[in-house]
Structure 1
Amino acid sequence: MEYFERLATVEEAEQFIEENDVAFLYISQENCSVCHGLKPQVKKVMDQYPKIQTAEIRTDDAPEVASKFHIFTVPVLLLFVDGKEYHREARSVYMQKFDEKIKELYENYFD
């Protein structure tokens, strides 16, 4: 099941970030059980904020994504505002804290 738009290259990720005022990027790997377990929880949170564009890129498909975004572990949740990194969570994500951060941004940016 696909939860987010799937990106295959770093160039696609850069374009996605550039084209969207607020962009969320989920970075994962195919063989990462934490990535697979966390993704539905993240999707549930992001569904509450429909104006934020979401996408996923796997380091298996695009290994250079790790160096581009300074990734040392997966999963990584990156939120960009106007092309700049606004928030980052990695590996152990506290969903309530993550949701609060997204809600704060959403209310301030879109209202």
Structure 2
Amino acid sequence: MTTFQELTSIEDVRDFYLQQSASFIYISSPGCGVCASLFPQIEPIIANHPEFRSGHVDLSTVPEIVGEFSVFTAPSLLFFVQGKELHRESRIVPIEPFTRKVEQLSRLVASMN
């Protein structure tokens, strides 16, 4: 299973997505039931795509992420390719469409290499 790197400062977050060719960030909030139930469904999908380096941000630890990325709800799922945000999902994330989107982004990353 892919290990999600814990990002504990806004500088960690910036370094994480800017230094990778492709990355995925899962933003959650403590006490968020949707966050807790969605993560185990998302984790294996991301694990099948090692081209995406995966990170996790807790909103209570890194509150600056709200302003930096205009995150207004949790969970928020962000994909970056070459330092640019290409896709975002928030709150209720249907798994089948999410899986198709990850496949599409994966093909895009592969075509860039």
- Calculate the TM-score normalised by the size of structure 1: 0.94
* Number of residue equivalences: 110
Structure 1 unaligned runs (5+)?
Answer: none
Match of 2:88 in 1: 88
Match of 1:36 in 2: 36
Match of 1:67 in 2: 67
1:5 and 1:56 in contact (8 A); partners too? yes
In structure 1, C-alpha distance between the alignment counterparts of 2:46 and 2:20, rounded to whole Å:
15
In structure 2, C-alpha distance between the alignment counterparts of 1:108 and 1:62, rounded to whole Å:
30
CA RMSD of aligned residues (A): 1.4
2:5 and 2:56 in contact (8 A); partners too? yes
Structure 2 unaligned runs (5+)?
Answer: none
- Give the 4+ runs in structure 1 shifted more than 3 A: none
Instruction: Give the % identical residues.
Output: 33
- Calculate the TM-score normalised by the size of structure 2: 0.92
Give the C-alpha shift of residue 110 in structure 1.
1.4
State the secondary structure of the residue aligned to 1:96. Answer: helix
Match of 1:10 in 2: 10
